[in-house]
Amino acid sequence: MLIRIYDENPNEREIQRVVKILRNGGVIVYPTDTIYGVGCDITQPKAVERVARIKNVEVAKSNFSFICSDLGHLSTYAKPIPNHIFKLMKRCLPGPFTFILEANNNVPKYFKGKKKTIGIRVPDNSIILSIVRELGNPILSASVKSEDEILEYTTDPELIEEKFGDLVDLVIDGGYGSNIPSTIVDCTSDVPEITRQGKGKVEI
């Protein structure tokens, strides 16, 4: 199923429709400020497993991130961070960045495995931020692209629906997406380090 939602002014009724699907354990494809993502409510383990199967990875070994609506979720899922890291995140977000932080015990166990970190995203896209706010907790973030190639289907919602329509419950058409991923910033030590240069540009 493909529905159109506009980034400039997301329709509240459509947002609630998406949230209902997520609360019922659904998996969706959604727009971000970079590549389209495939994800679910992080509190729905069966839905998380579905996303992992789509991405052909094990949940515990995956690099899934959490999409949050703002930095208010930081203390819920990440250990306390130094002030200079918080200021860096505040400067960059919302934006095309993934910040790697030390996870705390509130992160669902099926995500952690042997990992002790979590990726946090706050995209500059009002559609997904409206969905997360209405849902009340983060959404799992995994890119629809394959790791080794960027194909046309990753930017065109109708082609995404053709490829993923049978695997997910809903594809949101939020307009053409980007084919450049987020910039990953590792903040697990005192000195932040860019481990993947993507769309986001920042001086560290």
Nearest 5°: phi and psi at 163?
-80, -40
* pLDDT confidence tier of residue 50, bands split at 50, 70 and 90: very high
pTM over 0.85: yes
* DSSP-H helix ranges across 68-156: 74-77, 83-92, 109-112, 126-135
Give me the pLDDT at residue 5, please: 97
In a domain, 180, yes or no: yes
- The 3-state secondary structure of 178-202, one letter per residue: CCCCCEEEECCCCCCEEEECCCCCC
In a domain, 203, yes or no: no
Domain that holds residue 107: 2-196
Give me the pLDDT at residue 192, please: 97
In a domain, 204, yes or no: no
In a domain, 175, yes or no: yes
Q: Per DSSP, what are the bridge partners of residue 193?
A: 186
In a domain, 201, yes or no: no
In a domain, 138, yes or no: yes
- Return d(Cα 166, Cα 36) in angstroms, integer: 17
In a domain, 140, yes or no: yes
In a domain, 202, yes or no: no
Classify residue 56 as left (phi > 0), alpha (psi -120 to 50) or beta: left
pLDDT digits (tens, 9 = 90+) for 145-199: 765 555 556 788 999 999 899 999 999 999 999 889 999 999 999 999 999 999 9
The count of structural domains within the chain is 1
Residue 108: give its domain's CATH number: 3.90.870.10
| Sign of the CA dihedral running 22, 24, 27, 28 | negative
In contact, 183 and 88? CB cutoff 8 Å: no
pLDDT digits (tens, 9 = 90+) for 127-149: 999 999 999 999 999 998 765 55
